[in-house]
Amino acid sequence: MDTPLLIVFTRNPVKGRVKKRLAAATSDDFALKVYNKLRSITQEASSASGADIAVYYDNHLPDDDIFQGAKTKTFLQEGNDLGTRMFNAFKQGFSENYRRIALIGTDCPELTGTIIRSAFGALEQHHAVLGPAKDGGYYLIGLRALLSELFIGKQWSTSTVCREAKNELDRHGLDYALLQTLSDIDTVEDLGNFTLD
């Protein structure tokens, strides 16, 4: 199957359950508004990616959501931690015979369809692609084959997540491409020039 697959991990947008670090410094209402704006940005980028889309929700499958469309499949995230949930989503995609798969979250206000398309382009030449985030994590990870060591038994939400992923790929002799470094939004400090308009 030559069409790539884009996996989108999203939380169900429920007040009090999203962007908790941001909410602690502002309010649950404000955090939800920010999260809904980020989901809208992610949806636009996903739609412009040229890929098939699989959206994975953290809590329940909604009857109606901005991500749902003709080219979109929906799933529930499965696993006790983020790494296991990501691993299971990639595993599902590869079991459906996709050869290039990228996974993104819904925290990156600078993400565009062009960036996602460039990730899939990189996967034509490289085993993996990473989109580094300014906080040391990554906003995108793309693979041509499943590597469990990238996901299982890792510490998440730390400043070394992207570096550890690169080390793991190096250890397995897998070449990778790096996308431009972007910011994501988890705290008040991260908001920067971000506006809700």
Query: What's 168's domain CATH number?
Result: 3.90.550.10
Confirm whether 197 is domain-assigned: no
Averaged pLDDT score across all residues of the chain: 94
Confirm whether 150 is domain-assigned: yes
Question: What's the confidence (pLDDT) of residue 196?
Answer: 75
How confident is the model over 59-64, as a mean pLDDT? 92
Which is more confident, 191 or 165? 165
Confirm whether 167 is domain-assigned: yes
Query: What are the helix (H) ranges across 7-142?
Result: 20-25, 28-47, 82-95, 113-122
Lowest-confidence region among 46-60, 69-83, 86-100, 110-124: 69-83
Q: What is the DSSP letter of 184?
A: -
Question: What's the confidence (pLDDT) of residue 1?
Answer: 63
* Rounded distance between C-alpha atoms, residue 76 and residue 161, angstroms: 24
Confirm whether 53 is domain-assigned: yes
Taking CA atoms, 62 is separated from 54, 66, 67, 73, 75, in Å, by 14, 10, 10, 12, 10
* Rounded distance between C-alpha atoms, residue 129 and residue 140, angstroms: 8
User: What percent of the chain lies above the pLDDT cut of 70?
Assistant: 99
Confirm whether 196 is domain-assigned: no
- Residues in contact with 80: Cβ distance below 8 Å, sequence separation at least 6, in sequence order: none
Q: Model pTM?
A: 0.95
Q: Is the model's pLDDT at 193 over the cut of 90?
A: no
Question: What's the confidence (pLDDT) of residue 37?
Answer: 96
How many Cα atoms sit within 13 Å of 107 on the Cβ side? Answer: 27
Specify the number of domains making up the chain. Answer: 1
User: What percent of the chain lies above the pLDDT cut of 90?
Assistant: 85
Alpha carbon 141 to its chain's center: 7
Print the domain residue range for 63: 5-191
* Rounded distance between C-alpha atoms, residue 89 and residue 56, angstroms: 8
Instruction: Return the structure tokens found at 144.
Output: 């041509």
Which is more confident, 13 or 194? 13
Confirm whether 121 is domain-assigned: yes
How confident is the model over 192-196, as a mean pLDDT? 77
Confirm whether 158 is domain-assigned: yes
Q: Taking Cα atoms as reference points, which of 136, 53, 125, 130 lies closest to residue 96?
A: 53
How confident is the model over 57-77, as a mean pLDDT? 91
How confident is the model over 1-24, as a mean pLDDT? 94
